[in-house]
């Protein structure tokens, strides 16, 4: 009994200190955040309620004054207490549930009465007078019941919709849980002295969603880069003047060393990777205007991740706000890449160098060329050098024509086969400025040493590897260029040419 009384007193004491410590700082990750609570205190006992969805195992405590020592730390589960808005919202949800239940009962009773009258009409009555009397009563009651049932069904549907909206709003605000954690701290130190106490812990119901904007300006050799983030928190209370930092990933906090991963070497399985430059068309334009702009955002590299310090920020509990994180211009080398065998259009390609060591989390990006939207797809950045594609340009195009195709049997190569293809390729620059082009053609790759391949590109390839040959061209405005490509295959084997 004494132990039970002590537990009740402990729970009561913890619940009384709802705002004993305020949130002064937060480092927000794509999923979750590490928040810091601060309190000025002296020696003795202190009870601090931790934020909603806090992981108690992540709790860290720091004392500013070295004369103070931690004597005891105890974690206790307490009933969740939240903001007045959430309390009011829960009361409205309870009322909505009662109203829905009342409507459902009334609808059930109406359907039962309607069923009674319908059943009565199907009965056989002893006399015509009784049947006529029942028919008259049914004509009076059934229309009323049918109308009443329709009204109640519509009211029940409205109640369901309203209840769903309220419950979703409660979830947005982070008020759907029932219990949280409180920590009881015992401090020893000089009797008249006070110290700053910082508590930090990981909170799951926080995060941010990055959104990027990449506007290619080929004539200027630049990419305008914009980085915004919708930051949200559902701790149940609004954050006021919180020192906010974004991090590209959460730094490891494990106490024990990681397990050694065993090294296995196996046979590689062959596969073909299909690299496409064309984006899936965006059905709607992504809104990129930030409804909240942070002040001067400081970017810092932290080894394996990047931080952006936004300064003092107000952030209400709920779906969050959009903050502008960065806006800058990247020097870029632009070329148009054409693959005539796959299609006639040239795709705008940019090679950028955006700074060493920067880490940008994966997020949706809006791609534009000279301010016109061309598509959207996932973007991230982990490497210093990157190649980006900005979709096709109808003013840079090509035509590929098979001039001649020959096959031969034993008459041309004794006991073997031969194949020959001659292609004529014309590339066009219909733009008003000169353009750099990269024109790619596949090279036959023999899988047997007895297959002989002879290639005659005209002019010669500017660069090539085992799989492809590339012409690098510079076309003046409103001009074209002819390229020729001849392929010969010869072998004593029965060939499968692959084309």
Q: Which domain holds residue 74?
A: 2-80+187-202
Q: What is the pLDDT of residues 335-362, one digit of tens each?
A: 999 999 999 999 999 998 765 556 788 8
At residue 499, does pLDDT exceed 50? yes
Both structure tokens of 258: 């990681």
* Separation of alpha carbons 332 and 454, rounded Å: 37
In a shared domain, residues 12 and 156: no
Q: Is 385 helix (H, G, I), strand (E, B) or coil?
A: strand
Task: Convert the pLDDT of each residue in 212-268 to its tens digit.
Answer: 999 999 989 999 999 999 999 988 778 999 999 999 888 765 555 656 555 543 433
Is residue 337 one of the residues assigned to a domain? Answer: no
Closest CA to 229 of 324, 366, 318, 365: 324
Asked if the model's pLDDT at residue 272 lies above 50, the reply is: no
* Residues 54, 135 within the same domain: no
What gap in Å lies between CA 213 and CA 70, rounded to an integer? 49
Q: 46-60, 153-167, 256-270, 358-372 — which is least confidently predicted?
A: 256-270
Residue 3, both tokens: 């132990």
Same domain (yes/no): 76, 191 = yes
pLDDT at 236: 74
Q: Is 111 domain-assigned?
A: yes
Same domain, yes or no, for 191 and 60?
yes
**Residue at 192 is within a domain:** yes
**Is the pTM here over 0.75, yes or no?**
no
The DSSP line for 331-366 is EEEEEEEE-TTT-SEEEEEEEEE--TT--EEEEEEE
Same domain assignment for residues 57 and 121: no
pLDDT tens digits, 431-466? 999 999 999 999 888 888 888 889 999 999 999 998
Give the three-class secondary structure for 152: helix
166 and 89 within one domain? yes
Name the nearest CA neighbour of 90 among 4, 167, 160.
Answer: 167
**Beta carbons of 444 and 487 less than 8 angstroms apart:** yes
**Structure confidence at residue 356 (pLDDT):** 57
Residue 62 domain-assigned?
yes
Within a domain: 317 = no
Please answer whether residues 174 and 83 qualify as being in contact, where contact means their C-beta atoms are separated by less than 8 angstroms: no
Residue 145 falls within a domain, yes or no? yes
pLDDT of residue 176: 57
Q: Are residues 109 and 40 in the same domain?
A: no
pLDDT at 68 over 90: yes
Q: Is 497 among the domain residues?
A: no
Overall average pLDDT of the 283-306 stretch: 61
What is the predicted pLDDT for the residue at 255? 53
pLDDT tens-digit map of 73-129: 998 887 666 566 667 777 788 888 888 888 888 888 888 877 777 766 666 767 666
Same domain, residue pair 58 and 93: no
Task: Output the six-digit token pair for 53.
Answer: 């969805």
Q: Looking at the structure, do residues 6 and 57 belong to the same domain, yes or no?
A: yes
Place of tokens 């949130």: 23
Residues 75 and 88 in one domain: no
Is 282 a residue whose pLDDT tops 60?
no
For the record, the structure tokens of 257 come out as 């060393």
State how many domains the chain has: 3
| Count of residues in the chain | 499
**Distance (Å, rounded) from C-alpha 302 to C-alpha 248?**
10
Domain identity same for 27 and 107: no
């Amino acid at each position: 009994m004494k132990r039970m009384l002590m537990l009740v007193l402990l729970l009561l004491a913890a619940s009384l200190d709802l705002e004993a410590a305020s949130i002064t700082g937060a480092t927000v990750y794509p999923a979750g955040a590490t928040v810091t609570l601060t309190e000025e205190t002296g020696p003795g006992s202190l009870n601090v309620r931790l934020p909603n969805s806090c992981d108690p195992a992540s709790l860290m405590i720091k004392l500013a004054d070295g004369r103070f020592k931690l004597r005891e730390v105890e974690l206790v589960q307490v009933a969740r207490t939240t903001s007045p808005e959430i309390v009011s919202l829960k009361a409205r949800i309870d009322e909505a549930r009662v109203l829905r239940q009342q409507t459902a009962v009334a609808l059930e009773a109406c359907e039962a009465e309607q069923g009674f009258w319908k059943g009565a009409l199907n009965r056989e009555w002893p006399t015509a007078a009784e049947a006529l009397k029942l028919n008259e009563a049914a004509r009076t009651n059934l229309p009323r019941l049918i109308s009443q049932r329709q009204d109640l069904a519509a009211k029940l549907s409205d109640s369901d919709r309203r209840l769903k909206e309220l419950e979703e709003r409660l979830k947005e605000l982070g008020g759907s849980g029932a219990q949280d954690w409180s920590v009881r701290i015992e401090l020893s130190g000089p009797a008249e002295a006070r110290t700053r106490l910082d508590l930090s812990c990981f909170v799951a119901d926080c995060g941010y969603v990055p959104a990027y904007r990449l506007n290619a300006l080929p004539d200027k050799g630049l990419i305008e880069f914009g980085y915004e983030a919708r930051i949200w928190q559902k701790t149940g209370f609004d954050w006021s003047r919180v020192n906010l930092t974004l991090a590209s990933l959460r730094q490891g906090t494990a106490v024990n060393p990681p397990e050694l991963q065993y090294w296995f070497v196996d046979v590689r399985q062959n596969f073909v990777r299909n690299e496409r430059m064309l984006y899936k068309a965006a059905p709607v334009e992504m809104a990129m205007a930030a409804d909240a702009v942070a002040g001067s955002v400081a970017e810092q590299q932290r080894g394996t991740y990047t931080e952006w310090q936004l300064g003092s920020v107000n952030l209400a509990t709920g779906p969050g706000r959009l903050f502008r994180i960065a806006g800058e211009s990247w020097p870029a080398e632009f070329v148009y890449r054409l693959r005539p065998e796959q299609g006639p259009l040239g795709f705008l390609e940019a090679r950028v160098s955006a700074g060493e060591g920067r880490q940008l989390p994966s997020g949706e990006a809006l791609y534009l060329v000279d301010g016109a939207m061309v598509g959207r797809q996932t973007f991230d950045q982990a490497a210093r050098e990157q190649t980006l594609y900005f979709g096709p340009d109808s003013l840079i195009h090509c035509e590929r024509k098979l001039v001649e195709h020959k096959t031969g049997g034993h008459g041309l190569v004794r006991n073997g086969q031969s194949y020959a293809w001659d292609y004529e390729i014309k590339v066009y620059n219909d733009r008003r400025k000169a353009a750099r082009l990269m024109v790619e053609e596949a090279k036959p790759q023999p899988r047997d040493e007895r297959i002989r391949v002879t290639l005659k590109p005209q002019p010669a390839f500017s660069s090539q590897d085992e799989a492809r040959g590339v012409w690098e061209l510079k076309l003046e405005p409103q001009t074209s260029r002819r390229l020729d490509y001849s392929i010969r295959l010869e072998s004593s084997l029965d060939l499968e040419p692959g084309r």
